[in-house]
Amino acid sequence: DWNMPDYVNEAIEKVRAQVGKDEVILGLSGGVDSSVVAALLHKAIGDQLTCVFVDNGLLRLNEGSMVMEMFARNLGVKVIHVDASEQFMGHLKGVSDPEAKRKIIGREFVEVFQAEAAKLPNAKWLAQGTIYPDVIESAGAKTGKAHAIKSHHNVGGLPDTLNLKLLEPLCELFKDEVRELGVALGLPREMVYRHPFPGPGLGVRILGEVRQDFADLLRRADAIFIDELRAADWYDKTSQAFAVFLPVKSVGVMGDGRTYEYVVALRAVQTADFMTAHWAELPHSLLGKVSNRIINEVRGINRVVYDISGKPPATIEWE
Ligand code: XMP
Cβ(175) to ligand 1 under 6 A? no
Q: What is the number of structural domains in the chain?
A: 2
Annotation-wise, does 65 bind a ligand? Answer: no
Distant-in-sequence, close-in-space partners of 94: CB < 8 Å, separation ≥ 6: 209
User: 163 and 285 share a domain?
Assistant: no
Could you tell which of 151, 155, 274, 311 is best to mutate to test the pocket of ligand 1, judged by most ligand atoms within 8 Å of the CB?
274
- Integer Cα distance of 68 and 73 in angstroms: 6
Give the number of the atom of ligand 1 that is nearest the alpha carbon of residue 318.
Answer: 2
Task: Assess if residue 165 is contained within a domain.
Answer: yes
- Integer Cα distance of 145 and 158 in angstroms: 15
Cβ(198) to ligand 1 under 6 A? yes
Residue nearest to atom 22 of ligand 1 (CA): 198
- Tell how far the Cα of 64 is from the centroid of ligand 1, in angstroms: 21
ipTM of this complex prediction, to 2 decimal places: 0.99
User: 160 and 212 share a domain?
Assistant: no
Is 143's pLDDT higher than 70? no
Going through 64-150 in order, the beta strands assigned E by DSSP cover 78-83, 123-127
Picking from 119, 101, 102, the residue whose alpha carbon sits closest to that of residue 23 is: 119
Annotation-wise, does 250 bind a ligand? Answer: no
For the stretch 169-199, pLDDT in tens is 999 999 999 999 999 999 999 999 999 999 9
- Tell how far the Cα of 48 is from the centroid of ligand 1, in angstroms: 32
For the stretch 227-274, pLDDT in tens is 999 999 999 999 999 999 999 999 999 889 999 999 999 999 999 999
Distant-in-sequence, close-in-space partners of 58: CB < 8 Å, separation ≥ 6: 85, 88, 105, 200, 201, 202, 203, 210, 215
Cβ(220) to ligand 1 under 6 A? no
User: 212 and 182 share a domain?
Assistant: no
User: 154 and 33 share a domain?
Assistant: yes
Helices and strands (H and E) in the chain: how many: 10, 9
- Tell how far the Cα of 108 is from the centroid of ligand 1, in angstroms: 19
Cβ(102) to ligand 1 under 6 A? yes
Phi and psi at 160, nearest 5°, equal -65, -15
Look at residue 313 in the predicted model and tell me its pLDDT.
Answer: 97
User: What CATH number has the domain bearing residue 153?
Assistant: 3.40.50.620
Tell me the residue range of the domain where 67 lies.
Answer: 6-192
Going through the chain in order, the beta strands assigned E by DSSP cover 23-27, 49-55, 78-83, 123-127, 165-167, 240-254, 257-270, 278-279, 301-306
User: 153 and 15 share a domain?
Assistant: yes
Is 61's pLDDT higher than 90? yes
Percent of the chain with pLDDT over 90: 87
User: 50 and 177 share a domain?
Assistant: yes
Q: DSSP letters of 252-289?
A: EEETTEEEEEEEEEEEEEE-SSSSSBEE----HHHHHH
Is 4's pLDDT higher than 90? no
User: 218 and 152 share a domain?
Assistant: no
User: 12 and 71 share a domain?
Assistant: yes
